[in-house]
């Protein structure tokens, strides 16, 4: 149990009163009582006697909680509790609220039928609470006699309509008063020009704490530093919020992270502005009127930089750069990440962190990279903690233990349900000893983006972004075409991949494996799995080609296996397809066998959460034969109409 009665109320209240008196401009107290308090350097009143407290408790028919009683023994009431309660009740003025505000009914309107005790308390507090606010700026302060802890302390609730938030709970009266003292400091710390400088022993001690926390953070002690900065932030100390926000952002937190006071400094803006702008872009829905809200005081040049960065973030062209050896590591990391090796990219950044050079004394860590479309997906809370734990900026300290990689290796992870349980079918091509940049030439349809040398890869983007762009640019749809939109990258040592996580339905009658075309001068592997599809018969296809000719293949569909060529024993389909009691287990075994046979792997993190280069392949289906019906739809100026070219005969299956 906490002995709250041991708290030195008198010293605390005297310090508060003196700091309040010193913060007032000469001759500008609002009234005689405040002027008297300023001269006396005392915001309180004479102590309440035991007789007065006994009379109060008899009137209210309940004993007051310990911390409130101890306060009353020092001052029977209080002026200026925080910024919005000008008079707090003593023994005479404390009274049961009895919903005199009418707020119980208002809060009850917002209650759900299954509201729990916490939500119910927000209603009942107005009927049973003890009101402590006597004079205030539409701010209510109530103690709840039914929200009592093991020390007999009542919780204190504060609420103001202009804050647009539910009542705020304070564990007890002492906690409430300390919070009001911090609120007083925070409001005084942001003074207008011409007002006295708010400086005292408390502010000087806190500013020393901020500086110590800054150095501790650079040494890798981010947890202790973060707590110290949070404390200083509650008092409104300059730098504390901006420094603490840098720690929070690397931990993956974005809510209320604005890099206050630092983001508008031209020294730090190049690194702090991009993550702030990226968060705006993610939630603004093209309403950019609020972008400058957190850039108050910024120069016109900096505001222009913010909007230019916003355009780059939205178009996916923002590119993070840094100076010196760390900047060189950034470029190496980007090269690894854009081809799918996100674990290698992270190791490159992490190992170079001690070489990072701050842009100024209040710069705690590199941050602009989190807005980079290729590097940003590398960040996880675990990796953020690892970076923050790494000594940097010229400070010495113990290096942290490396965090685990995010890619399990191999192919088996494809058989695991994704977060939305949507990945039930996928297909990919592996090409040996070929760079990813060469894949469009081997697999491309010849109708995508290109230059005089042929098809080129799209800039790195998520699969959803790539599909949206593809659908916006597509003007022709054929029921016989199956051009896959694939992500490209490196599939481990010696292999490149082209991956489609949302393929068209598999139709064995029309399917043409791209393995042969992709294997000119090398070897290629094609896998198409649909063993977990719920609306169609499960299927699985594997084909392997070398030097432009298929070596072997098998297809399992409709409970039958069709095979060709000499299939290695490790991949013999009869080993996997028996009763097919568990499609997921069969899929895992098959993927493990394919990975083992070819030594290839696919990067889970890059494919699921990262951004990769994409391109459109040629069709995975053969052209229509005589007598097979198909249709083509061309879109012109928003109109959709069938095109010529349908063949007569038996109806073929519909397109995608």
Question: For the domain that residue 146 is a member of, what is the CATH number?
Answer: 3.40.1580.10
State pTM to two decimals: 0.86
- Highest average pLDDT, of 373-377, 537-541, 636-640, comes from 373-377
Residue 411 reports pLDDT greater than 90: yes
Mean pLDDT of 16-34: 85
Mean pLDDT of 69-87: 97
- Highest average pLDDT, of 8-17, 419-428, 631-640, comes from 8-17
Tell me whether residue 243 is exposed, middle or buried, using C-beta atoms within 10 angstroms of its C-beta: 0 to 12, 13 to 18, 19 or more: buried
Select from 435, 456, 565, 558 the least CA-distant residue to 513.
Answer: 565
Residue 331 reports pLDDT greater than 70: yes
Long-range contacts of 102-108 (CB under 8 A, 24+ apart): 103/140, 103/159
Give percent of the chain above pLDDT 90: 73
The whole-number pLDDT of residue 566 equals: 97
- Highest average pLDDT, of 20-29, 287-296, 435-444, 477-486, comes from 435-444
SS3 628: coil
166, 79 contact by CB (below 8 A): no
Residues 454 and 340 in one domain: no
Residues 508 and 379 in one domain: no
Over residues 363-400, the pLDDT tens digits come to 999 999 999 999 999 999 999 999 999 999 999 989 99
Mean pLDDT of 545-553: 97
Average pLDDT for the chain: 90
Instruction: Evaluate whether residue 508 is within a structural domain.
Output: yes
Instruction: Evaluate whether residue 646 is within a structural domain.
Output: no
SS3 16: helix
Helix then strand count (H, E) for the chain reads 20, 21
- Taking the C-alpha atoms of residue 620 and residue 615, their distance in angstroms, rounded to an integer, is 14
* Backbone φ, ψ for residue 329 (5° rounding): -65, -35
Mean pLDDT of 70-77: 98
Instruction: Evaluate whether residue 645 is within a structural domain.
Output: no
Residue 419 reports pLDDT greater than 90: no
The whole-number pLDDT of residue 450 equals: 40
Residues 106 and 214 in one domain: no
Could you tell me the pLDDT band of residue 31, with boundaries at 50, 70 and 90?
A: confident
Residues 15 and 151 in one domain: yes
The whole-number pLDDT of residue 448 equals: 44
The whole-number pLDDT of residue 289 equals: 82
Tokens at 205, concatenated: 């001690």
136, 84 contact by CB (below 8 A): yes
Residue 632 reports pLDDT greater than 80: no
Residue 610 reports pLDDT greater than 90: yes
Residues 273 and 306 in one domain: yes
Instruction: Evaluate whether residue 450 is within a structural domain.
Output: yes
Of 329, 353, 388, which residue is a domain's last?
Answer: 388
Maximum alpha-carbon separation in the chain = 107
Residue 654 reports pLDDT greater than 50: no
Residues 76 and 129 in one domain: yes
Residues 343 and 424 in one domain: no
Mean pLDDT of 349-366: 97
Name the residue with tokens 């006071």.
261
> What is the distance of C-alpha 298 from the center of its chain?
26
Alpha-helix runs per DSSP H in 251-323? 269-283, 300-315
What's the CA dihedral at 47, 49, 55, 60 to 10 degrees? Answer: 40
Label residues 503-517 b or e (16+ Cβ within 10 Å = b).
Answer: bbebeeebbebbbbb
* Backbone φ, ψ for residue 370 (5° rounding): -70, -15
Tokens at 598, concatenated: 């070819």
Give percent of the chain above pLDDT 70: 90
- Taking the C-alpha atoms of residue 203 and residue 215, their distance in angstroms, rounded to an integer, is 19
* Backbone φ, ψ for residue 249 (5° rounding): -65, -35
Long-range contacts of 47-50 (CB under 8 A, 24+ apart): 47/72, 47/73, 47/74, 47/75, 47/76, 48/72, 48/73, 48/76, 48/90, 48/91
The whole-number pLDDT of residue 283 equals: 87
The β-bridge partners of 511 are 621
Residue that wins the pLDDT comparison between 114 and 337: 337
Could you tell me the pLDDT band of residue 646, with boundaries at 50, 70 and 90?
A: very low
Instruction: Evaluate whether residue 44 is within a structural domain.
Output: yes
The whole-number pLDDT of residue 652 equals: 34
Residues 162 and 223 in one domain: no
CA atoms within 13 A on the CB side of 357: 10
Residues 285 and 331 in one domain: yes
The whole-number pLDDT of residue 43 equals: 98
Tokens at 76, concatenated: 């029977």
Over residues 115-131, the pLDDT tens digits come to 777 778 889 999 999 99
Residues 238 and 183 in one domain: no
- Taking the C-alpha atoms of residue 341 and residue 433, their distance in angstroms, rounded to an integer, is 17
Tokens at 200, concatenated: 């005292």
Residue 577 reports pLDDT greater than 50: yes
Instruction: For residue 289, give its domain range.
Output: 201-388
Residues 6+ apart with CB under 8 A from 654: 479
> What is the distance of C-alpha 372 from the center of its chain?
14
* Structural domain count of the chain: 3
The whole-number pLDDT of residue 649 equals: 36
- Strand-by-strand arrangement of the 549-557 sheet: 560-565, 549-557, 539-546, 523-529, 426-432, 495-500, 483-490, 613-619
Mean pLDDT of 616-622: 93
Could you tell me the pLDDT band of residue 645, with boundaries at 50, 70 and 90?
A: very low
Instruction: Evaluate whether residue 403 is within a structural domain.
Output: no
Mean pLDDT of 610-630: 87
Select from 424, 429, 485 the least CA-distant residue to 457.
Answer: 485
Mean pLDDT of 40-56: 97
Residue 16 reports pLDDT greater than 90: yes
Residue 656 reports pLDDT greater than 70: no
Over residues 459-493, the pLDDT tens digits come to 999 888 888 887 766 666 676 789 999 999 999 99
Tell me whether residue 1 is exposed, middle or buried, using C-beta atoms within 10 angstroms of its C-beta: 0 to 12, 13 to 18, 19 or more: exposed
Could you tell me the pLDDT band of residue 584, with boundaries at 50, 70 and 90?
A: confident
Of 189, 215, 236, which residue is a domain's last?
Answer: 189
Containing H/E element for 416? none
Of 133, 166, 189, which residue is a domain's last?
Answer: 189
The whole-number pLDDT of residue 648 equals: 36
What's the CA dihedral at 144, 148, 152, 157 to 10 degrees? Answer: -40
Instruction: Evaluate whether residue 640 is within a structural domain.
Output: no
Residues 457 and 577 in one domain: yes
The whole-number pLDDT of residue 192 equals: 66
Residue 137 reports pLDDT greater than 50: yes
Instruction: Evaluate whether residue 631 is within a structural domain.
Output: no
Mean pLDDT of 532-554: 91
Residues 221 and 262 in one domain: yes
Mean pLDDT of 94-115: 88
- Taking the C-alpha atoms of residue 56 and residue 71, their distance in angstroms, rounded to an integer, is 14
Mean pLDDT of 339-343: 97
DSSP 138-197: SEEEEEEEEEE-TTSPEEEEEEEGGG-SPPEEESSHHHHHHHHHHHHHHHHHSPPTTSPP
Residue that wins the pLDDT comparison between 653 and 469: 469
CA atoms within 13 A on the CB side of 40: 13
- Taking the C-alpha atoms of residue 208 and residue 194, their distance in angstroms, rounded to an integer, is 25
Of 173-187, 195-209, 445-459, 476-490, the range with the lowest mean pLDDT is 445-459
Residue 47 reports pLDDT greater than 90: yes
């Amino acid at each position: 149990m906490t002995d709250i009665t041991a708290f030195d109320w008198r010293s605390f209240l005297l310090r508060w009163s003196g700091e309040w008196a010193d913060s007032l401009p000469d001759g500008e107290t609002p009234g005689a009582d405040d002027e008297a308090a300023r001269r006396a350097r005392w915001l309180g009143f004479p102590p309440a006697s035991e007789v007065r407290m006994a009379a109060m408790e008899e009137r209210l028919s309940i004993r007051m909680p310990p911390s409130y009683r101890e306060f009353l023994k020092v001052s029977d009431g209080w002026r200026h509790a925080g910024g919005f309660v000008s008079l707090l009740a003593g023994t005479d003025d404390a009274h049961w609220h009895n919903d005199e505000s009418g707020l119980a009914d208002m809060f009850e309107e917002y209650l759900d039928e299954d509201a729990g005790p916490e939500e119910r308390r927000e209603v009942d507090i107005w009927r049973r609470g003890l009101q402590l606010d006597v004079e205030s700026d539409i701010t209510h302060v109530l103690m709840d006699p039914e929200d009592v802890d093991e020390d007999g302390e009542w919780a204190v609730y504060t609420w103001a309509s202009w804050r647009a938030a539910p009542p705020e709970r304070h564990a007890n009266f002492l906690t409430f008063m300390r919070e009001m003292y911090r609120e007083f400091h925070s409001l005084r710390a942001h003074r207008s020009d011409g007002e006295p400088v708010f400086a005292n022993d408390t502010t000087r001690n806190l500013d020393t704490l901020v500086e110590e926390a800054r150095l501790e953070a650079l040494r890798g002690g981010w947890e202790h530093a973060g707590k110290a900065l949070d404390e200083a932030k509650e008092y409104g100390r300059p730098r504390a919020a901006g420094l603490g926000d840098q720690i929070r952002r690397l931990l993956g937190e974005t809510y209320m992270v604005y890099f206050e006071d630092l983001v508008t400094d031209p020294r730090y803006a190049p690194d702090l502005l991009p993550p702030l702008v990226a968060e705006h872009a993610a939630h603004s829905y093209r309403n950019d009127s609020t972008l400058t809200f957190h850039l108050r005081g910024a120069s016109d040049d900096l505001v222009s930089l913010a909007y230019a960065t916003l355009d780059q973030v939205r178009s996916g062209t923002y590119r993070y750069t840094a100076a010196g050896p760390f900047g060189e590591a950034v470029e190496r990391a980007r090269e690894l990440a854009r081809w799918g090796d996100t674990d290698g990219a992270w190791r490159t950044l992490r190992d170079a962190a001690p070489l990072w050079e701050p842009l100024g004394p209040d710069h705690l860590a590199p941050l602009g990279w989190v807005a980079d479309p290729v590097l940003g997906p590398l960040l996880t809370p675990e990796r953020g903690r690892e970076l923050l734990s790494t000594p940097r900026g010229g400070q010495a300290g113990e290096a942290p233990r490396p965090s685990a990689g995010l890619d399990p290796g191999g192919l088996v992870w494809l058989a695991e349900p994704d977060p939305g349980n949507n990945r039930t079918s996928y297909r990919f091509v592996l090409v040996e000893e070929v760079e990813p940049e060469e894949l469009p030439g081997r697999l491309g349809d010849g109708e995508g983006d290109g230059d005089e040398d042929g098809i080129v890869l799209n800039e790195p983007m998520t699969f959803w972004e790539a599909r949206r762009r593809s659908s916006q640019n597509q003007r022709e749809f054929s029921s016989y075409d199956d051009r896959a939109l694939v992500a490209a990258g490196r599939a481990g040592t010696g292999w490149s991949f082209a991956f489609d996580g949302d393929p068209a339905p598999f139709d064995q009658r029309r399917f043409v494996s791209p393995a042969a075309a992709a294997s000119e001068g090398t070897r290629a592997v094609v896998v198409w799995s649909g063993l977990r599809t719920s609306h169609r018969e499960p299927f699985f296809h594997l084909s392997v080609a070398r030097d432009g000719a298929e070596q072997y293949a098998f297809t399992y569909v409709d409970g039958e296996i069709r095979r060709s060529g000499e299939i290695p024993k490790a991949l013999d389909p009869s080993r996997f397809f028996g009763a097919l009691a568990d499609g997921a287990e069969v899929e895992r075994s098959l993927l493990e066998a394919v990975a083992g046979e070819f030594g290839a792997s696919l990067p889970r993190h890059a494919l699921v959460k990262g951004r990769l280069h994409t391109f459109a392949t040629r069709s995975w289906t053969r052209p229509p034969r005589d007598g097979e019906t198909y249709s083509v739809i061309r879109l012109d100026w928003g109109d959709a109409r069938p095109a010529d070219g349908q063949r007569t005969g038996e109806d073929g299956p519909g397109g995608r």
